[in-house]
Amino acid sequence: MVESPRRYRLAELPRSISREETERLLKTVDRRGPTGKRDYAVLLLLVTYGLRAREVAALRLEDIDWKHDRLHVRGRKAGHSAVYPLVPVVGEALLNYLQQTRPRSAGRALFFRALAPHTPLSWQAVSLRARHYLRKAGIKVPRPGSHTLRHTCVQRLVDAHLPFKTIGDFVGHRTPDATAIYAKVNLEALREVALGHGEEVL
């Protein structure tokens, strides 16, 4: 009888990418056309706030509070809503998309298909666009998609030594374990060990 391999809690490492890879990813977006303007804003939302694909797809025009520079994300997985400061680069990308390329529609969805029929962008499409640009940038990760950028946002916050509770609240994690897995990836410590100067780290 062959036993199946034992699975351990928190055994799977997050599939995040580096800051350099993130910059390379964003540079692959051709922002001259309507699709690129939309996709650039989508990618920034994913990597800046760690939003899920379905949360990006569910955004509506009224969720952007231009007067107070805030972004509202309603009905998150953990059962609450979140309010974020609207980072200037994200606000500029959204404004550029809204003013120049968002299809005219009576619908209140923020993001629409660039080609007819101009229906609201689905969460599947959000994830597929992220996968498209990851591959275009030559970035190899397991199961590339929108969650790659979500993981990247969380890992950046962990590396900044923010408390897990703060990080979990920021990205809408349901349990502390969902955030704790990122503590397993301490790249700087691993580099020191690999170079033979990190005995005190172990």
Catalytic residues: 52, 77, 147, 150, 173, 182
CA dist., res. 186 & res. 153, Å (int): 15
**In DSSP terms, which residues pair with 83 in a beta bridge?**
72
CA dist., res. 25 & res. 59, Å (int): 23
Question: Two tokens at 167?
Answer: 């990080």
- Tell me, rounded to whole angstroms, the distance of Cα 58 from its chain centroid: 15
**In the block, residue with structure tokens 């509202």:** 72
| Residue 79 falls in which region: left (phi positive, over 0), alpha (psi -120 to 50) or beta | left
